[in-house]
Amino acid sequence: MVEEIYDDVVSFELNINVKAEKDSLTQTVISLRANFTAEAETFLSPIRNLIEERDQLRDHTSTVTDINVKAEKDSLTETLLSHIRNLTEERDQLRNQTPTGTVTWLTHGSSFYYRLERTKNWNESRQECQKKGGDLLIINSKEEQEFINNQSINAWIGLTDKEKEGEWKWVDGSALTTGYWRSGEPNNANGVEHCAVFLVFPPALNSWNDINCMQPSDCICESTKPPS
């Protein structure tokens, strides 16, 4: 009996000790865990800051790069456009220069013929011819048509129906009698074609077309004396 009580007491004490030890261990684990988390935070926090800073720098860098690329592109575009503008101006000036000698002229019958590479509309072309002492070409015969056709020139001639649709007149005021129109021409396409151009298709004799008088083109002039 005494032994049994003794055993109980021993076992009771053992249990108390085990529990106390377990509680103490649990406390230790909890405290270690807390310490670890706090310590880990002291490491992680600067890393987080660095990552954030890196991302901000990345964003900033790409914005700066974008801005630089765009500025460079704009500047290059402006340079190119300015080159193009200068070249266009130079080309137009060269085109408008009419030094004697750059005009090639031909004689045929009693006329002098010359082509002006001016890419002007019909009215302006006519003025250019007049400045040189002539006028836009008038074709009075099949033979003259053949002669011009053989020169391979695409250019304005002195024929228009702008006063009255369908009434074609030469620049000297005479009415057109025989026309050398291409097949289907004149067709007054879109109702805006009132001036005639020579299109070269030798050996086809019929080579005229009516086009919009405002279209730029070379012109063929004719005069009774050499161009001035």
Instruction: Give contact residues for ligand BGC (rule: CB under 6 A).
Output: 185, 187, 189, 193, 209-211
Shortest Å, Cβ 198 to Ca ion: 13
As separate numbers, helices (DSSP H) first and strands (DSSP E) second, the chain gives 3, 8
Q: Are 201 and 224 in contact (CB under 8 A)?
A: no
CA torsion through residues 6, 7, 10, 13, sign: negative
Q: Does 160 bind Ca ion (CB under 5 A)?
A: no
Which range, of 38-46, 125-133, 160-168, 180-188, touches Ca ion by CB under 5 A?
A: 180-188
Q: Which is nearer to Ca ion, 99 or 191 (CB)?
A: 191
Q: Determine phi and psi for 180, rounding to 5 degrees.
A: -115, 60
The answer to whether the bond into 216 is cis (omega within 30° of 0) is no
Q: Are 219 and 156 in contact (CB under 8 A)?
A: yes
Which residue in the set 152, 187, 212, 228 belongs to the binding site for Ca ion (CB under 5 A)? 187
Q: Which is nearer to ligand BGC, 185 or 218 (CB)?
A: 185
Q: Could you give the CA distance from residue 8 to residue 57 in angstroms, rounded to a whole number?
A: 72
Q: Could you give the CA distance from residue 94 to residue 11 in angstroms, rounded to a whole number?
A: 121
Q: Does 209 bind Ca ion (CB under 5 A)?
A: yes
Q: Is 115 helix (H, G, I), strand (E, B) or coil?
A: strand
Q: Which is nearer to Ca ion, 149 or 209 (CB)?
A: 209
Which residue's Cβ lies closest to Ca ion? 210
Q: Which is nearer to ligand BGC, 75 or 187 (CB)?
A: 187
Shortest Å, Cβ 211 to Ca ion: 6
Q: Does 210 bind Ca ion (CB under 5 A)?
A: yes
Shortest Å, Cβ 184 to ligand BGC: 6
Residue type, 212: N
Which residues bind to Ca ion, rule: CB under 5 A?
185, 187, 189, 193, 209-210
